[in-house]
Structure 1
Amino acid sequence: MLVVGFPAGAFHANCYLLAPGPGGGCVVVDPGQDALPGVADALREHRLTPAAVLATHGHVDHVHSAAELADAHRVPVWIRPEDRPLLSDPLKGLGPDLAGALGDLRLTEPARVAELGEGELELAGLRVEVLHTPGHTPGSAVFRLATEEGGQLALTGDTVFAGSVGRTDLPGGDPRELGTSLRRMMAALPDDTVLLPGHGGTSTVGREKATNPFLGGGTGPTGGTRGRS
Structure 2
Amino acid sequence: MQVITVVSAVFGARCSVLVHDDGSCVVIDAGAGVTDSVLQLVADRDLQPAAVLATHGHVDHTWDAGRLSEALDVPVVLHAADVYRLADPFGTLGLLGSSGSPSHDPSGPLAQAIAATGIDPTSYTAPHRVEPFGGADDARSADTVLELGSLRIVARHAPGHTEGSTLYLVADVAFTGDVLFAGSIGRTDLPGGDDATMQRTLREVVATLPPATVVVPGHGPTSDIATELARNPYLARL
TM range, smaller chain? 0.7 to 0.9
Q: What is the CA distance between 1:98 and its match in structure 2? A: 3.9
Equivalent in the alignment of 2:105: none
Q: What is the CA distance between 1:41 and its match in structure 2? A: 2.9
Alignment of 1:25 onto 2:24: yes
2:153 aligned counterpart, secondary structure: strand
2:206 aligned counterpart, secondary structure: helix
Match of 1:129 among 140, 151, 154: 154
Equivalent in the alignment of 2:130: 113
Long gaps (5+) in structure 2: 99-107, 113-120, 135-142
Question: TM-score, normalising length from structure 2?
Answer: 0.84
Q: What is the CA distance between 1:97 and its match in structure 2? A: 4.1
8 Å CA contact 1:20, 1:125 repeated in 2? yes
Write the distance in 2 (CA, Å) between the matches of 1:161 and 1:202. 8
8 Å CA contact 2:78, 2:131 repeated in 1? yes
Q: More displaced, 190-199 or 67-76?
A: 67-76
Alignment of 1:204 onto 2:224: yes
Q: More displaced, 74-83 or 54-63?
A: 74-83
8 Å CA contact 1:89, 1:107 repeated in 2? no
8 Å CA contact 1:25, 1:50 repeated in 2? yes
Write the distance in 1 (CA, Å) between the matches of 2:34 and 2:208. 31
Superposition pairs of residues 110-189 of structure 1, within 5 angstroms: 110-117=127-134, 118-146=143-171, 152-189=172-209
Q: What is the CA distance between 1:186 and its match in structure 2? A: 2.7
Write the distance in 2 (CA, Å) between the matches of 1:98 and 1:87. 13
Equivalent in the alignment of 1:6: 6
Q: What is the CA distance between 1:19 and its match in structure 2? A: 1.8
2:40 aligned counterpart, secondary structure: helix
Q: What is the CA distance between 1:105 and its match in structure 2? A: 4.1
Percentage identity across paired residues of the two chains = 44
Q: How many residues align?
A: 212
User: CA 1:140 to 1:214, structure 2 compared with 1: closer, same or farther past 3 Å?
Assistant: same
Q: What is the CA distance between 1:20 and its match in structure 2? A: 1.1
Alignment of 1:89 onto 2:88: yes
2:68 aligned counterpart, secondary structure: helix
Q: More displaced, 38-47 or 56-65?
A: 38-47
Output one character per residue of 1:54-107: Cα deviation in whole Å (capped at 9) or x when no partner.
000000000000001001222110011111011121013313144323176464
8 Å CA contact 1:9, 1:61 repeated in 2? no
Amino acid at match of 2:183: G
Q: What is the CA distance between 1:47 and its match in structure 2? A: 1.8
1:110 aligned counterpart, secondary structure: coil
8 Å CA contact 1:163, 1:208 repeated in 2? yes
Q: What is the CA distance between 1:124 and its match in structure 2? A: 1.8
RMSD (Å) for aligned C-alpha atoms = 1.7
8 Å CA contact 1:26, 1:124 repeated in 2? yes
Output one character per residue of 1:13-62: Cα deviation in whole Å (capped at 9) or x when no partner.
0001112126x321000011011122123213322132101000000000
Write the distance in 1 (CA, Å) between the matches of 2:74 and 2:39. 15
